[in-house]
Every structure is written in C-alpha cells, then in structure tokens.
Amino acid sequence: MRVVVSTPNRILLDEPMREVVLPVVGGEVSVLDDHQPFIGRLGKGLLRLRSANGAERRVSIEDAVVRMMDNELVIMLEA
C-alpha cells in the first residue's frame, strides 16, 4: 500500500509499505494491503512502518488524523 505521512507544511514520507501499526485509544491497529476504508484519529504513541523488505521505521506522534482509501494510507500529523 502507498503510505503518506505529512504535516500541514510538508510531506515526510511517501512510499510503499507492507504494514503500518497505528496508535489508537486503548491500543494499536495494524493496517495491511487492501485494508477496508476508514477515517480516524490517532493518539499519542508510536507509529510503526514496515517496508516490503522488513525494515521498520518508528515515528513518535502526539496527535494525528488517518485515512485509508483505495490502498492508500494518509497520516496527517499536527505541526
């Protein structure tokens, strides 16, 4: 799936990923290819992004909005 992570001012990441683990209230949600569309709000926690070769990136977030549609996950971080 295509994953875009951005702030209101710039795009931080725009790459294909195999899995993204999102911090949500009360736990985590894992998103894989062709996940059902959704829109939500993320809480404080660790955003984990795994590429096709298994490499993992971690980003600490405070607050964000997320949208999954047409195999594209867009995460808008607060500035």
pLDDT tens digits, one per residue of 30-72: 999 999 999 999 999 999 999 999 999 999 999 999 999 999 9
Alpha-carbon dihedral sign for residues 26, 31, 36, 42: positive
pLDDT at 26: 84
Residue with tokens 């998103």: 31
pLDDT at 14: 97
Q: Is the pLDDT of residue 78 over 80?
A: yes
Domains for the chain: give ranges and CATH numbers: 2-77 (2.60.15.10)
- CA–CA distances in Å: residue 58 to residues 4, 61, 65: 14, 10, 17
Mean pLDDT of 11-28: 94
Q: Is the pLDDT of residue 3 over 80?
A: yes
